[in-house]
Amino acid sequence: MRRPLFRRAKRWGIIASAILLSSLLLAACGENSPSILNPAGPVAAKEAGIFWFILIVATIIFVIVEAALIYSIVRYRERPNSATPRQIHGSNTLEITWTVIPSVVLILVLGYTIYTMLTLYPGGANQLQVRVVAHQWWWEFDYPGYHIVTADSMHIPAGTVVDAQLYSDNVIHSFWVPALTGKLDVIPGHEMTNHLHFKADASAANHSYPGECVEFCGAQHAHMHFDVVVDTADNFNTWISSQQQMALTPTGSLAAQGQKLFAQSSCAGCHGIVGVNLKSYDDPRAAGLVGPNLTHFGSRGLIAGGVLTNTPANLTTWLQNPQAVKPGIDMPQLGLSPDQINALVAYLESLK
């Protein structure tokens, strides 16, 4: 009597594990997780089209093959006194059929994929040039046409083709915004710069889309996020003109204290703020600064290479010990006092 009970328990154990495993897998599909299945632009939509085409073809083949398999298992199962079935080893008809059918299917998939690749480039004049620079481990966005530099949050106008020019000053990274475009490697020391062209639909305006680094690039590869904020054309122009301004002069005394601290401490040895330690975004001194430009830090949605949302509490945590949040990064534990941190947080968050 003990065996059936044990078997039943085992069966329930398997079912429970399957449910647990699938819920763990599905938990990764949160609202904000990047997905190629909700394309927000024509390039991503075409790429998603390949996914659906291959999925449908593969599903049809799966159903046909499994149906034939199950039919054969049931129809030709061994029964008492059943005779040895006819042996068909070496049948030319079968060999040719199961060579030709998969070849035709694979040629169809290849043809559709090549056609999509050739028609992927969205084209059009008046493209927005953005120099995307991959650092270890954060993304810098330099808009040469507007002379502004930002980090972690990339703004683009809806309906305009973006020409993302991918640079790295260290190792190979890969740039990916699942809802807008496929991946492209960011290769250091390459004579030919990799360009990735993509566009956001008009309906994508006022939304932001997560981006990722998708090439292993060191200890914090998994923490190299950014977001692409899609603006209406008007909002984008407003964003550009506000980013072009020098950093705001602090109004409160705490923020003023923070500005003074920034300028006099080691912060200014790695970070630039236009109007404080840089004359403009194009100031030659900017080339020697290894950290993100902080001129309009307060206007960004993400900080710390995309691992934290931009809130005073998160910035406080970051300044207390960046190495605890992202071990291995260039920014050291500065040993700031709580008062110094409060002043810096007040200042940096005021830089809208």
Which CB sits closer to ligand CUA, 226 or 239? 226
CB of 132 to ligand CUA, least distance (A): 12
Q: Does 155 bind ligand CUA (CB under 6 A)?
A: no
How many CA atoms lie within 13 Å of 165's alpha carbon, on the beta-carbon side? 13
Per CB under 6 A, the list member of 47, 142, 201, 215 interacting with ligand CUA is: 215
Stretch that binds ligand CUA, among 209-217, 262-270, 277-285, 326-334 (CB under 6 A): 209-217
Subset of residues 223 to 252 that bind ligand CUA, contact rule: CB under 6 A: 224
Where in 80-216 does DSSP place strands (E)? 128-135, 138-143, 148-151, 153-157, 162-168, 173-177, 181-186, 194-198, 207-213
φ and ψ at 192, to 5 degrees? -100, 120
The span of 45-53, 217-225, 266-274, 289-297 binding ligand CUA (CB under 6 A) equals 217-225
Q: Rounded to an integer, what distance in angstroms lies between the CA atom of residue 113 and that of residue 53?
A: 9
Per the listing, tokens 């290479």 go with: 305
**Residue of 155, 173, 296, 326 interacting with ligand CUA (CB under 6 A):** 173
Q: In sequence order, what are the beta bridge partners of 194?
A: 166
- Which of 168, 310 has the CB closer to ligand CUA? 168
Contact between 221 and ligand CUA by CB under 6 A: the answer reads yes
Of residues 95-134, which lie at the interface with ligand CUA (CB under 6 A)?
Answer: 134
By CB under 6 A, is residue 177 in contact with ligand CUA?
no
Part of the chain binding ligand CUA (CB under 6 A), chosen from 63-71, 140-148, 208-216, 342-350? 208-216
Q: How many residues bind ligand CUA (CB under 6 A)?
A: 9
Place of tokens 């496929």: 182
Cβ 321 vs Cβ 312: under 8 Å: no
Options 14-22, 50-58, 213-221, 328-336: segment touching ligand CUA (CB under 6 A): 213-221
C-alpha closest to that of 199 among 221, 218, 177, 215 = 177
Using DSSP, state whether 11 is helix, strand or coil.
Answer: helix
Give the whole-angstrom CA distance, residue 35 versus residue 13.
32
Q: Which residues contact ligand CUA (rule: CB under 6 A)?
A: 134, 137, 173, 213, 215-217, 221, 224
